[in-house]
Structure 1
């Protein structure tokens, strides 16, 4: 198999492994075909008003400031006099779309929603709005349309402002909330003169939804502790008070209106959300009006957290819920069926109604969830052979029938408390059963993927041995017969697996996961002769040294795996790497470079100990990073001018690039200063930023292909872009990384010399554009395993050096303010992804340089890297959790996705680095002069 074919096959295999995790863990939980369940009793309310203060933290609303002042006095008075309150616990990811889906539809959206963004529905789902007779909503164009598009008929009306109004650089983001309040007041005012509208408004099962985005926008732009954020909370409080008054007056205080005030997610102190920090997952819930409990005084409350004392609410009964529980609460209040896909449990403690109403409501809730269980079970039964199907034993069909009869009997006998308890038990069993059938094929698919994984890794190891251990022998007639026999065996296995999947009517993706191990393991067994040759030649190998390398690399891989969970472990790893020159005795022959290596490792080791990206914004550190980059570049050019004379055109290019670095540092400082003064994003700054981004991969192609000159150009170009995407200390990371990579290139030359390799190249004479003479390529040595491990370690450090899983999931929008300030998740996400990849590219270009300078084929080292990264991915595949907290589950899956993405990216970035280092755009019109 040639290199191109191997690359394509390897890429396809890893894409399959990558996608498998979504089929195993991220399939949609929704099923269709359930009958809506309705309570056969009149509801307490005719209408419901839902206020969602986007991005509002529970502590911001509940906790008094140091002077005892409450940020929302009207909401506080509701809690103390005529309403119920508690904390609504959200799930990861704490983003607006999944938060609103949980609130209004009652289920926790799967990750497939990310592929459709924030506006479209990846799957059609039921909601409280859909079940209402009419719903009027006001707010963001990113949230409202998904509930109107998913509704049947034409009874959900949306009123949205322009997407351009969602500007983080706005002089006052609270205008978004003022727009909503003004529109609502104008709506009710105009309704008085519109007979058709008036008739609809006085009907039943009416919902009004006010989406208030100003708090979230101000939190992103100014942080939740800022004056702007707190003032916006006060503005929302006053707006809610005014809207409540308008609605009560419009309906003549008929006492048939329910009000619910909550939030979709919270926000960290540094202005981000998306992860599982309590500041993001704890949101307020305040409910009052028709059918809802009034304030209840208690002497003490049993909560593990200490928030009640901080909030000065120890004597006011707190009733916590899960976010999805709010949907059945709203449904019960206005008498509409609970959304058919809801997994929320009706919080009875919020209801002020008769016991029979509560029992009937819980019965409807339990049947609604049980209906989902029945459909899920029927679907799985249809696609599984009868003798292989195992039903969920705690909830067999007979037990379902018994539950229905017993619950209905208890309600008829007036034993409402027992009926409620029975319904609660049935809901718990049905939810566990839903999870059981939802994950029914997980073990089967996981086993198939693991078989493919192990087979692929084994094949790559055999290819390395066959290519570089002098184990290749001519194929004998016996080998040919054996290969034909193997082909027949594995072909039969493939046919049997295909037939089995056809009988079960399995999805097409199952065929890929189950059939992939067949050709992979066929390739492994086909190379069995290589393994036999290795065993026979074992006595002549340096077994102790081989075992030593194996042990060190194994421990090193475990270190990297732990580093995913604890960034500080990378610091430990860099400290251990710093002593390499002393262990390998390089210090005796290269003292200066060895000391530079130690200093570079120790400098880079400080970054994993720093707070993650975005927590401590400081543009002065970004300016400092630009200054360090400029000084380093000047020193490098001055020190290398005699060894490698520069052409005048190259000198001009480097000067322009250095001026551009200074300009980017100025643009970032200028942008943040302008936004702080609420003057918006300057057009000049935006033009410079986008021009820098577009040209970052083109400008290096104009420079000389001499090794150090090309690397300098690449570094300057990438650092310029990184500066524009930085907010603080992370801006210093690329310069520190570039310094260590420069030392690594030099010290590897000394390592080659220490090994007695006579073909040591002079680095200053290496030209990336020269055709490499294959005949001069050397065989792999054990030390190349170390080089490959160093590369993987630096790649992981490049990823986690300035952040972690949470910081990737909940990035700070301030990082992209030089490019845009209007909310656009895809562009912002793409910019942040490029920021993550820039250190990757720096390490990839360094690795490409080491491959050239050590005269080793890129395929050889890359195969070792592939084995190391695949072993890490296999670790994380087994570490994936489907239990525990949602943060634990999401983090474990994210680790696997990151490692698999890294492997796929490395394949693609290897091509990019090859182009970046070896290609050049010639501009013949420039003068050819030497600078000495």
Structure 2
């Protein structure tokens, strides 16, 4: 009962600490209720045509063919004669939904949208579509509805094809783009005979949005260097040319239409996107039409040294890159006054957001504790706006940099108020972490180090600590109530107080100096989050363990197997991450081999009655529950069933990872038996006689020894290896549907994501089952070993909590947060997975037919 209580408390504590990172770093930056502002002058365009070619890389559009011609002759002519071009630099995650939100709504979406499959709005937001008079959209059912849902009124009209059309197994997905072009042409043709629709189209402030998903789908299915992908780009170019001609004819060539052609993200050579590779973040941008600057020659050296201009043969034309939400003046073709007024309006819009954020924070903070942003106080705001307005009235438009400075300071101020409480929340979480980890360490020491309490001192400390904690809790609660803080703030401070109370009480023991000293030896695991090759170094060192510990002389064959297994596994972190270079032939041969090996082993284990069920890969996880609970039989059944599923989810060398890992885990189990024998431990049980379902003899459970810390460390190291052995953070974020083609080809983010997560979890289960076996074989309490693992994991989590940063690029910030989230998820996940693996190893399902044989 005490074990269950401790498990529940520990799980709750880690869930709270896990959630805290979202409350501190993942809260929405959006504010509402600002006063709207617009440019007082007449805009040069009455309508906008926005074309987004999903998944189109910049180099795929701009690079010429070997013969010097372009695969996009129409857009190339626009670049050279009629419009302005450049590269738009996207931010991670380079997914379709965040990219479109940045394009159309003007902000980088909350990462929490991933929990909704990049389909739903975690926070409702304003957009260009919402501010238009009418918006007509054609394209994917995954993108268009999110802007119609957030719009006020009923003026955003969406036309989508069925979701089943987004099939990655399609021979050619360009039909998705052909559908859009066909629908647009039919729309304008029908408007000629529909007077009501025609009148609406001739109004100003209209937007036409064409979302083209064919390039992205072909890139996933056939790779960006394929003929299908490249031909799709040519189809899009021809389609855009035809649509522009139709629109211009419909509006009698009035010169009031602006066109923007761009992409939401790029794609890697291996057909994935989501991370920060240049092929994913560099997208094309071409604008032309009303109010857009015409093509200009480069009169001076351009400020780009990436080599693209020369490769694309565009060094003679001015390139204008876009990477942030500030009005790109170099794209505009209008009077100096219009551009100055537009820039001033842009600055006031951002300033309004800053003022609203400042007011919200000021209302929820005690006046004597509130510290305003010094670079943009209320007096400085008035000074900025008044000076900018005077300069415009005096027609000193060249001093427009003042507005850019105001935008910059306003954005910095928004970050300041958005992170205003971050320091205090962080301190609370860290103190809670330290208290909890210290408590776990002391529980281990008291349980296994024969520490004695001083009864009177313990009673006094308990009384005073509870009194102190109660007083502190009352003061903090009143403080949070006055500031109208969210309910999560109360939880963080409560757990900090409880953890410190437990620690204070537990510290009242007598022991030799140094009993509470914690040894920090998580360096290899921490560094491996940044450099996968560190796992190779760690495995190379672990391979020498039998030789350094003296086990080689007593178990030569097992020691050599351990050496070879570690070195084979050490090769995987040196390979490219999952998804880089698919090797379908390798995976196919492995599947055949596994099918043959699996059938032979099933026959050998005398469980032929489940042979057909075993060969059905999706249900293979349940096969081990039908096998014997004897150690060798059950583990072999588990490893084979998991490996077969993993193979179907593999596209390259990672398919070899589970077999090699399983082999090493078998060797680890056997060599631990030799380690126990070398220590002269009595009651050692042979592996062949161990039955997972047998009741554990509590009298044979031993206390912790120094070697058990080494076993726990090995376990944590292998868990990290299971995660980073074949991939990294970027490869987990990147989406490559080729891995799930055996099960699903039609786009479904939740099912595909679930299958990919199952692929990630399989190596975890292999290591967890091995650790469960070692606990049984070494006759050690699972609670004791798990507490050591918990301490090591928490030390790593605390380390990454300090490494979380809120400066630098989005990728730097996101990666640092991801490391903490992964370690915390691993701790919570291991708690839950320990229960799953216990069931997987010890429980057995008895088929009805088998019962009938025993009970005729």
Match of 2:707 in 1: 783
> In structure 2, how many angstroms separate the alpha carbons of the residues matched to 1:388 and 1:721?
57
Mapping for residues 684-763 of structure 1, pairs under 5 Å: 692-693=617-618, 695-763=619-687
Closer/same/farther in 2, CA of residues 526 and 922 from structure 1, 3 Å limit: same
Match of 1:511 in 2: 490
> In structure 2, how many angstroms separate the alpha carbons of the residues matched to 1:761 and 1:631?
33
> In structure 2, how many angstroms separate the alpha carbons of the residues matched to 1:480 and 1:464?
21
CA deviations over 1:834-863 (Å, ceiling 9, x no partner):
110000000000000000000001001000
> How far apart are 1:632 and its partner, in Å?
6.4
> In structure 2, how many angstroms separate the alpha carbons of the residues matched to 1:862 and 1:65?
60
Match of 2:259 in 1: 259
> In structure 2, how many angstroms separate the alpha carbons of the residues matched to 1:478 and 1:119?
58
> In structure 1, how many angstroms separate the alpha carbons of the residues matched to 2:747 and 2:602?
42
Matched, 1:239 2:217: no
Match of 2:368 in 1: 387
For the 8 Å contact 2:148–2:157, the answer to whether it is kept is yes
TM (normalized to structure 2)?
A: 0.97
Matched, 1:24 2:24: yes
Matched, 1:624 2:593: no
Closer/same/farther in 2, CA of residues 199 and 925 from structure 1, 3 Å limit: closer
Alignment partner for residue 533 of structure 2, among 556, 559, 568? 568
Matched, 1:417 2:341: no
> How far apart are 1:881 and its partner, in Å?
1.4
> How far apart are 1:627 and its partner, in Å?
5.0
> In structure 1, how many angstroms separate the alpha carbons of the residues matched to 2:441 and 2:667?
30
> How far apart are 1:625 and its partner, in Å?
2.8
Match of 2:41 in 1: 41
Match of 2:561 in 1: 596
Mapping for residues 824-843 of structure 1, pairs under 5 Å: 824-843=748-767
Match of 1:848 in 2: 772
For the 8 Å contact 1:135–1:209, the answer to whether it is kept is yes
Tell me, what secondary structure is at the counterpart of 2:266? coil
> In structure 2, how many angstroms separate the alpha carbons of the residues matched to 1:824 and 1:476?
62
Tell me, what secondary structure is at the counterpart of 1:823? coil
Tell me, what secondary structure is at the counterpart of 1:401? helix
Match of 1:78 in 2: 78
Closer/same/farther in 2, CA of residues 471 and 388 from structure 1, 3 Å limit: same
Tell me, what secondary structure is at the counterpart of 2:178? helix
Match of 2:810 in 1: 886
Tell me, what secondary structure is at the counterpart of 2:513? helix
Mapping for residues 767-846 of structure 1, pairs under 5 Å: 767-846=691-770
Match of 1:441 in 2: 421
Matched, 1:427 2:351: no
Match of 2:430 in 1: 450
Closer/same/farther in 2, CA of residues 161 and 263 from structure 1, 3 Å limit: same
> How far apart are 1:511 and its partner, in Å?
0.7
The worse-fitting range, judged by mean Cα deviation, of 116-125 and 9-18 is 116-125
> In structure 1, how many angstroms separate the alpha carbons of the residues matched to 2:281 and 2:348?
29
For the 8 Å contact 1:628–1:735, the answer to whether it is kept is no
Match of 2:97 in 1: 97
> How far apart are 1:135 and its partner, in Å?
0.8
> In structure 1, how many angstroms separate the alpha carbons of the residues matched to 2:119 and 2:513?
60
> In structure 1, how many angstroms separate the alpha carbons of the residues matched to 2:676 and 2:181?
72
> In structure 1, how many angstroms separate the alpha carbons of the residues matched to 2:438 and 2:620?
39
For the 8 Å contact 2:92–2:274, the answer to whether it is kept is yes
Closer/same/farther in 2, CA of residues 781 and 307 from structure 1, 3 Å limit: same
Tell me, what secondary structure is at the counterpart of 1:136? strand
> In structure 1, how many angstroms separate the alpha carbons of the residues matched to 2:361 and 2:589?
60
For the 8 Å contact 1:136–1:207, the answer to whether it is kept is yes
Closer/same/farther in 2, CA of residues 161 and 927 from structure 1, 3 Å limit: closer
> In structure 2, how many angstroms separate the alpha carbons of the residues matched to 1:595 and 1:850?
20
For the 8 Å contact 1:633–1:712, the answer to whether it is kept is no
> In structure 1, how many angstroms separate the alpha carbons of the residues matched to 2:457 and 2:540?
53
> How far apart are 1:438 and its partner, in Å?
0.6
Match of 1:331 in 2: none
Mapping for residues 105-144 of structure 1, pairs under 5 Å: 105-144=105-144
Match of 2:166 in 1: 166
For the 8 Å contact 1:621–1:732, the answer to whether it is kept is no
Q: Aligned pairs, how many?
A: 852
Mapping for residues 471-490 of structure 1, pairs under 5 Å: 471-473=451-453, 476-490=455-469
Tell me, what secondary structure is at the counterpart of 2:845? coil
Closer/same/farther in 2, CA of residues 385 and 783 from structure 1, 3 Å limit: same
> In structure 2, how many angstroms separate the alpha carbons of the residues matched to 1:630 and 1:750?
33
CA deviations over 1:377-402 (Å, ceiling 9, x no partner):
00000111111111000000000011
Match of 1:63 in 2: 63
Closer/same/farther in 2, CA of residues 637 and 158 from structure 1, 3 Å limit: closer
CA deviations over 1:615-669 (Å, ceiling 9, x no partner):
111122213333554676689899xx8xxxx5x4x3554x5577x2xxxxxxxxx
> How far apart are 1:483 and its partner, in Å?
1.1
> In structure 2, how many angstroms separate the alpha carbons of the residues matched to 1:576 and 1:72?
55
> In structure 1, how many angstroms separate the alpha carbons of the residues matched to 2:500 and 2:593?
52
For the 8 Å contact 1:629–1:735, the answer to whether it is kept is no
CA deviations over 1:322-347 (Å, ceiling 9, x no partner):
2xx5xxxxxxxxxxxxxxxxxx2100
Match of 1:897 in 2: 821
For the 8 Å contact 1:497–1:515, the answer to whether it is kept is no
